């Protein structure tokens, strides 16, 4: 195969390599995949301005987030069950993340225990992504484990209290293969069965009071992931969240939601710089990172593309994906006259 030149090349190479069921799980979106496509289409519709003859002295993609110095304004989004895509799973991702200094968000549904991933991350930055479990004591224990393992922030994902309707997976009859599961949830008591739609799952969905309790339970920075409206961003801040992640979960949960990049400007306006706003869903190019920062994001998360790198080349594949995106961002910054991350502003967007 020719050497992958961009993140889409990794998508094609990963599709050729993965089991069709695993590919359907990774690539698919909810329903008619309208939101999945819109995440890309909305980035593609945005046009950029050049700004000529700007000085590039001291040019850098470096940024600071929650006291961490990052080499570039992007992080690796939490993605479940990474051993579906490579035998080493989250371990290989952590190797790449720590080598390049890119923060890795480790999922509650990781296929390797969080402590093992943290061991590989070492001093490399790691955040823990929390899915609030029906057993709230078990949930608080996950937070304690994350603190003890050295994770630097807790990200509560609130947009997927139930799985989206994902037709691609259902057509393939996708199920986790034996030996791959949610390693962090070993020992979780089963949810009590109840009547009605989706059984016990709905009775125990997380609510705002759960977020308030988590705020009391940890001193780590607490971020809420899945925010798509200014009203929810305001509630999260009122409860003491330290950051907001604008995301529609990569189009995997509620179909016909707007693109994340379209939801960002009013949210950034409402937050008004009080806490960092991050964004994911559809980031595939350095110009996408630039556009999100121009609309007020402090950083973005990268989802499927680094997993496609993992599937193709393990840790080296993840590292190459990170490098490709970082290099594209540097070029986009130079061509729009932004020497540093704080210089990226609305002026780079045409119209
Ligand atoms: C296969 C897969 C598994 C995911 N697992 C999780 C998860 O465990 N926790 C979570 O908060 N988000 C999860 N997400 C959502 C991602 O964190 C992120 O929001 C999304 O992938 C970003 O969109 P992108 O893939 O277009 O970059 C998952 C996404 C995919 C594709």
Half-sphere exposure of 22 (CA within 13 A, CB side): 22
What pLDDT does 197 receive?
A: 62
What's the Cα-to-Cα distance from 245 to each of 37, 253, 264, 303, 329, rounded to whole Å?
20, 16, 10, 13, 20
Q: Is the pLDDT at 196 greater than 70, yes or no?
A: no
Per-residue tokens: 81: 């069950």
Task: Quickly count helices (H) and strands (E) in the chain.
Answer: 13, 10
Angle between helices 260-271 and 286-294 (to 10 degrees): 30
Which whole number is the average pLDDT over 90-113? 98
DSSP 292-303: HHHTT-SEEEE-
Per-residue pLDDT reduced to its tens digit, 247-262: 999 999 999 999 999 9
Per-residue pLDDT reduced to its tens digit, 41-58: 999 999 999 999 999 999
Which of 80, 158, 251, 311 has most ligand 1 atoms within 8 Å of CB, for mutation?
80
- Which residues have CB under 6 Å of ligand 1? 25-26, 39, 77-80, 107, 109, 129, 157, 225, 247, 249-250, 252, 280-283, 302-304
Q: Is the pLDDT at 198 greater than 70, yes or no?
A: no
CA of 314 from ligand 1 middle (Å) equals 18
For 264: left if phi > 0, alpha if psi spans -120 to 50, otherwise beta; the answer is alpha
Per-residue tokens: 312: 């193709």
What does the alpha-carbon distance between residue 214 and residue 108 come to, in Å, rounded to a whole number? 15
Which whole number is the average pLDDT over 98-115? 98
Q: Is the pLDDT at 200 greater than 70, yes or no?
A: no
Per-residue tokens: 104: 């890795």
Quick one: what percent of the chain has pLDDT higher than 90? 93
| 201 pLDDT tier (thresholds 50, 70, 90) | low
Lookup result for tokens 């995301």: 247
Per-residue tokens: 278: 């991050």
Closest ligand 1 atom, residue 159 Cα: 11
What pLDDT does 192 receive?
A: 75
CB 75 within 8 A of CB 93: no
Per-residue tokens: 205: 């969905």
Q: Is the pLDDT at 241 greater than 90, yes or no?
A: yes
Which whole number is the average pLDDT over 185-208? 80
Q: Long-range contact list for 267-273, CB < 8 A, 24+ apart? A: 267/227, 267/228, 267/229, 267/230, 267/233, 267/296, 268/295, 268/296, 268/297, 269/230, 269/296, 270/230, 270/233, 270/234, 271/233, 271/237, 271/244, 271/296
Please tell me the residue having the least CA distance from ligand 1 atom 5.
79
| 135 pLDDT tier (thresholds 50, 70, 90) | very high
What does the alpha-carbon distance between residue 268 and residue 97 come to, in Å, rounded to a whole number? 28
Q: Is the pLDDT at 199 greater than 70, yes or no?
A: no
CA of 56 from ligand 1 middle (Å) equals 35
Picking from 39-53, 91-105, 142-156, 188-202, which range would have the lowest pLDDT averaged per residue?
188-202
| 1 pLDDT tier (thresholds 50, 70, 90) | low
DSSP 161-174: SS----HHHHHHT-
């Amino acid at each position: 195969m020719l050497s992958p030149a961009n993140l889409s090349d990794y998508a094609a190479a990963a599709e050729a390599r993965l089991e069709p069921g695993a590919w359907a799980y990774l690539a698919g979106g909810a329903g008619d995949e309208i939101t999945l496509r819109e995440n890309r289409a909305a980035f593609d519709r945005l046009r950029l301005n050049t700004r000529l003859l700007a000085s590039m002295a001291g040019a850098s993609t470096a940024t600071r987030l929650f006291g961490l110095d990052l080499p570039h304004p992007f992080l690796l989004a939490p993605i479940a069950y990474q051993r579906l895509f490579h035998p080493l799973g989250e371990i290989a991702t952590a190797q790449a993340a720590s080598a390049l200094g890119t923060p890795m968000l480790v999922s509650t549904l990781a296929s390797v225990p969080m402590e093992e991933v943290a061991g590989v991350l070492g001093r490399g930055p790691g955040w823990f992504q929390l899915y609030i479990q029906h057993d709230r004591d078990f949930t608080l224990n996950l937070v304690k484990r994350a603190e003890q393992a050295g994770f630097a922030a807790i990200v509560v994902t609130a947009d997927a209290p139930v799985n989206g309707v994902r037709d691609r997976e259902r057509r393939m009859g996708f199920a986790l293969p034996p030996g791959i599961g949610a390693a962090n949830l070993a020992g979780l008591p089963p949810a009590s069965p109840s009547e009605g739609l989706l059984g016990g799952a709905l009775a125990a969905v997380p609510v705002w009071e759960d977020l308030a309790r988590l705020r009391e339970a940890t001193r780590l920075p607490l971020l809420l992931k899945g925010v798509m409206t200014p009203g929810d961003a305001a509630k999260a801040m009122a409860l003491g969240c330290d950051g907001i992640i604008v995301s529609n979960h990569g189009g995997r949960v509620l179909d016909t939601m707007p693109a994340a990049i379209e939801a960002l400007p009013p949210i950034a306006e409402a937050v008004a710089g009080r806490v960092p706003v991050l964004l994911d869903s559809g980031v595939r190019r350095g110009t996408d990172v630039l556009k999100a920062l121009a609309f007020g994001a402090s950083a973005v998360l990268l989802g499927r593309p680094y997993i496609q790198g993992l599937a193709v080349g393990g840790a080296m594949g993840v590292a190459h994906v990170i490098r490709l995106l970082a290099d594209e961002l540097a070029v986009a910054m130079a061509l729009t006259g932004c020497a540093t991350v704080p210089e990226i502003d609305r002026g780079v967007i045409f119209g």
